[in-house]
Amino acid sequence: MRIILLVLALGALLLGCLLTAIGAFLLTDPNELMFGLPYIFLLPGIPLLILGSLGLWLSHRLTRSHANPQGDPYD
């Protein structure tokens, strides 16, 4: 479960980075703004970055909770 979550989170982050970078690059060209092309890449890219970050955080939380079966020494 954790491995699948980690792979999905990393994939979402990489795809989000790629789409956001393409959209940001297209924002610099005034001719492309007429057609709304940058937003086609930015609209799915930014939520993918957020979902990927949340997935990595959740994967880290799941891994950390099972890493020390005796409990946290700082409790």
Is residue 24 domain-resident?
A: yes
Is residue 4 domain-resident?
A: no
Is residue 15 domain-resident?
A: yes
State how many domains the chain has. 1
Is residue 17 domain-resident?
A: yes
Spell out the per-residue pLDDT of the chain, length 75, in tens.
788 888 999 999 999 999 999 999 988 888 877 778 888 999 999 999 999 999 999 888 887 655 555 655 554
For residue 6, give the nearest of 59, 57, 48, 67 by alpha carbon.
Answer: 59
pLDDT of residue 37: 86
Is residue 60 domain-resident?
A: yes
Is residue 54 domain-resident?
A: yes
Burial class of 40 by CB neighbour count within 10 A (0 to 12, 13 to 18, 19+): middle
Region of 68 please: left (phi>0), alpha (psi -120 to 50) or beta: beta
What range defines the domain where residue 28 resides?
11-64
Name the token pair of 25: 């690059």
